[in-house]
Amino acid sequence: MRSTDSSTHGESEPTLETDAYLNRANRDCTDTERRSQPQAGLSRKHLRLALALFDLSKEGIVFLDENNLVQEVNPAYEEMTGYDRKDLIGRPLRLLSLGSQYAEMFKKMGSDIREHGHWQGEAWKRHRDGRHIPVRMSLTLAREQRDMDINLVAVFNDISLQHETKQQLHQMAYRDALTGLPNRACFYQHVERLLLDKSFLDITPSILMIDLDEFKEVNDSLGHGVGDLLLKQVALRMKSCLRSNDMISRFGGDEFMVLIEDSGRDNHTLVADKLLSVLQRPFKLEGNDVHVRASMGIYKIEDGAENIETLVQKADIAMYQAKNQGKSCYRLYDRVESSFARRKAALISALHQAIGLNQLYLNYQVQVQAFSGKPIGLEALLRWTHPEFGNVPPDEFIPLAESSGLILPIGEWVIHAACRQLALWQAQGVPLLPVAVNVSADQFYDDGLVAIIIKLLADTRLSPSLLEIEITESAAMSNPEKTIAQLHTLRDAGVSIAIDDFGTGYSSLGYLKKLPVSKLKVDRSFVKDIVTDSDDLAITSAVIKLAHTMNLKVVAEGVEDEQVQRLLVEQGCDFIQGYLFSKPVAADKIPTTLRRLRDQAREMVVPPARREPHWCLKPCGKKPYLTHPLALAGGKP
């Protein structure tokens, strides 16, 4: 209050300057006064109160005429803006115009005032000293004062304090507290805005996911304090090599994300190279020279329609590809490789449910005596039919089960299922043959395996000789000492053992000699071409000889035609497994398959005795029997 006089009610009186305004208002408002002559005293009192309010208000009040020129301002407004009343009167009311959203705001202001006589919102005012002041502002059409030259009343509230709090909250919500970099939420918002921006059409942004390779080791060995220091310095170094319109944010932990606004043709790889090189110098942290490297995944955003999660996921996939490639490098997102990675992840996730949802089952493939074709055993082969992925080949899902640890429950399920099936065939009176079950390395080395097998055989009352375990050569040789011990326990339990896929691993003959196994299975890759490939024939022949010198039987896998069978018999191969005799079939097809093969074997011309062979190498007809020269000559071999 600049001047007061006392009233009967002891109320504050208007200022002199406001009195001057009042006089002017009175003069201009004579019509109103005239209309309300009986209440003139009351009206005057109201005016005095109004003026006191105007004068004392903490809110800045401005009266504007029809041309939006300032007619009057109150002291609070003067204080808020730092301008004198006399500097303002007769001039247009100015609001700061900041950015494109202000055009929208002014449009809304105009339409609200036209339609409702009132507008309210937030805006900025410039203080005389150049500061920008955030204000909450309302504009009201002065309808009742149409006879005065006042058109609008503007009321301003300085909301600097609230604004500051809001800024702090924003900072907390959008900044990473440790490094001060924008956080994930801020990055997402920024990229989303960029993609919405029409200028996206002219630029090609890239996002770059960065993950430190040895951060955990630093944290574990030097403590979290040093880990935090490292993250701060890494953030600073990486930021220093980016351009001002690029953005680096910390997603959490040791994960950072860079947005390269315009990656042009190959800016993204240049940036990645720069980032890798600034990290190469050691970091000085509390007297330690700390070395840290990073793996980076880059995704070039070519399609503005993709959502932010998808973009980040793609950069993440590329980053993991870089990690798999030996770390400290970057990889560009590769669609084909990534769809493969996605399928892998989806299959592993589906595989978790496969047992519970009854999606697994066994097929059985018959093994036969090489020269006669007489069935001597079966191999249980796991199958997985998924409602969405269909029949997933074992070569695809078994490695996934192995890498995810699921092979243990799945492998146990296989042994159970094979034993149950044997028990069922026994109950049905089907002549029983030993069933070979494939066992993966982790499963084989699991201490529980032998106990599981022994218990199962006891529960199903099956002879242990009906179960055979197939372990691949590479698995058997990965831990030879343990293999020897484990195989002995199995053999002591009466279970026989075959080494599968022989020839594909690196066997130590010394160890092989010590393994209590009864069969070697020669891998199909050596067997299938023995007719045309003399090397394959030589290898297969050598394996057969080697096995025989160790008193082992040999099973040749993947025999699809008679010529191969004939050559194998010639080399002295004991058993054969392949499509020539039977593909793997469902359990309920086994009785008829075995009957067919037995009937077929009875027709075989070649007797079962092993002889020094002089097989005819010419193709000898389509029937699956062998053409021993003696047989052709009609003699008894």
Residue 540 near which of ligand C2E, Mg ion, none (CB within 5-8 Å, type-dependent):
none
* Residues 462-481 interacting with ligand C2E (rule: CB under 6 A): 470
Other Cβ atoms less than 10 A from the Cβ of 72: the count is 22
Spatial CA neighbour of 471 closest among 436, 495, 498, 492? 498
Instruction: Supply the minimum distance, in Å, between the C-beta of residue 580 and ligand C2E.
Output: 7
Q: Is 71 helix (H, G, I), strand (E, B) or coil?
A: strand
Instruction: Supply the minimum distance, in Å, between the C-beta of residue 484 and ligand C2E.
Output: 20
Q: The tokens of 211 are what?
A: 């993950």
Q: Is 505 helix (H, G, I), strand (E, B) or coil?
A: coil
Spatial CA neighbour of 436 closest among 372, 367, 522? 367
Give the type of residue at 499: I
Of 67-75, 390-398, 423-431, 601-609, which part binds ligand C2E (CB under 6 A)? 390-398
CB 283 within 8 A of CB 204: no
For ligand C2E, the closer of residues 123 and 626 by Cβ is 626
- Per CB under 6 A, does 395 bind ligand C2E? yes
Residues 6+ apart with CB under 8 A from 64: 70, 71, 93, 150, 151, 152, 153, 154
Spatial CA neighbour of 456 closest among 429, 475, 442, 437? 437
Among positions 211, 446, 501, 570, the unique one binding ligand C2E when judged by CB under 6 A: 501
In what helix (H) or strand (E) does residue 127 lie, and over which residues does it extend? none
Residue 393 near which of ligand C2E, Mg ion, none (CB within 5-8 Å, type-dependent):
ligand C2E
Other Cβ atoms less than 10 A from the Cβ of 326: the count is 9
Among positions 203, 332, 381, 546, the unique one binding ligand C2E when judged by CB under 6 A: 381
Distance between CA 551 and CA 304 in Å, rounded? Answer: 68
Judging by DSSP bridges, how do beta strands 152-158 and 132-141 pair with one another? antiparallel
Among positions 80, 259, 382, 597, the unique one binding ligand C2E when judged by CB under 6 A: 382
Among positions 82, 394, 409, 505, the unique one binding ligand C2E when judged by CB under 6 A: 394
Residues 6+ apart with CB under 8 A from 524: 557, 558, 578
Q: Is 550 helix (H, G, I), strand (E, B) or coil?
A: coil
Task: Give the binding site for Mg ion (CB under 5 A).
Answer: 438, 470, 500-501, 557
* Residues 516-545 interacting with ligand C2E (rule: CB under 6 A): 524
Of 299-307, 551-559, 597-605, 625-633, which part binds ligand C2E (CB under 6 A)? 551-559
Tokens 């960029």 sit at which residue?
A: 194
Of 4-12, 48-56, 308-316, 438-446, which part binds ligand C2E (CB under 6 A)? 438-446
Instruction: Supply the minimum distance, in Å, between the C-beta of residue 351 and ligand C2E.
Output: 13
Longest dimension (CA), the chain: 148
Instruction: Supply the minimum distance, in Å, between the C-beta of residue 365 and Mg ion.
Output: 9
Residues 6+ apart with CB under 8 A from 123: 95, 96, 102, 105, 134, 135, 137
Instruction: Supply the minimum distance, in Å, between the C-beta of residue 520 and ligand C2E.
Output: 12
Of 175-183, 212-220, 290-298, 433-441, which part binds ligand C2E (CB under 6 A)? 433-441
For ligand C2E, the closer of residues 326 and 390 by Cβ is 390
Of 4-12, 162-170, 432-440, 543-551, which part binds ligand C2E (CB under 6 A)? 432-440
- Per CB under 6 A, does 579 bind ligand C2E? yes
Instruction: Supply the minimum distance, in Å, between the C-beta of residue 604 and ligand C2E.
Output: 19
Q: The tokens of 633 are what?
A: 């000559």
CB 154 within 8 A of CB 138: yes
In what helix (H) or strand (E) does residue 212 lie, and over which residues does it extend? strand 206-212
Residue 309 near which of Mg ion, ligand C2E, none (CB within 5-8 Å, type-dependent):
none
- Per CB under 6 A, does 388 bind ligand C2E? no
For ligand C2E, the closer of residues 77 and 526 by Cβ is 526
Q: How many residues bind ligand C2E (CB under 6 A)?
A: 24
Q: What are phi and psi of 139, to 5 degrees?
A: -125, 125
Tokens 């050691």 sit at which residue?
A: 282
Residue 578 near which of ligand C2E, Mg ion, none (CB within 5-8 Å, type-dependent):
ligand C2E
Residue 464 near which of Mg ion, ligand C2E, none (CB within 5-8 Å, type-dependent):
none
Instruction: Supply the minimum distance, in Å, between the C-beta of residue 576 and ligand C2E.
Output: 9
Among positions 112, 334, 560, 561, the unique one binding ligand C2E when judged by CB under 6 A: 560
For 215-242, letters b (16+ CB in 10 Å) and e give beebbeebeeebbebbbbbbbeebbeeb
Residue 483 near which of Mg ion, ligand C2E, none (CB within 5-8 Å, type-dependent):
none
Instruction: Supply the minimum distance, in Å, between the C-beta of residue 615 and Mg ion.
Output: 25
- Per CB under 6 A, does 438 bind ligand C2E? yes
Distance between CA 471 and CA 476 in Å, rounded? Answer: 6
Among positions 10, 38, 387, 393, the unique one binding ligand C2E when judged by CB under 6 A: 393
For ligand C2E, the closer of residues 391 and 549 by Cβ is 391
Instruction: Supply the minimum distance, in Å, between the C-beta of residue 453 and Mg ion.
Output: 17
Residue 440 near which of Mg ion, ligand C2E, none (CB within 5-8 Å, type-dependent):
ligand C2E
- Per CB under 6 A, does 414 bind ligand C2E? yes
What angle in degrees, to the nearest 10, is found between the helix axes of 215-222 and 224-240?
A: 140
Instruction: Supply the minimum distance, in Å, between the C-beta of residue 278 and Mg ion.
Output: 51
Torsion, Cα of 56, 62, 65, 71 (10° steps): 60
Task: List, edge to edge, every strand of the sheet that includes 294-300.
Answer: 247-252, 255-260, 206-212, 294-300, 330-332
Distance between CA 491 and CA 488 in Å, rounded? Answer: 5
Residues 145-184 as x/- pattern, contact with ligand C2E by CB under 6 A: ----------------------------------------
Q: The tokens of 12 are what?
A: 């504050």
Positions in the binding site for ligand C2E (CB under 6 A) = 365, 381-382, 393-395, 398, 411, 414, 438-440, 470, 500-501, 524, 557-560, 577-579, 584
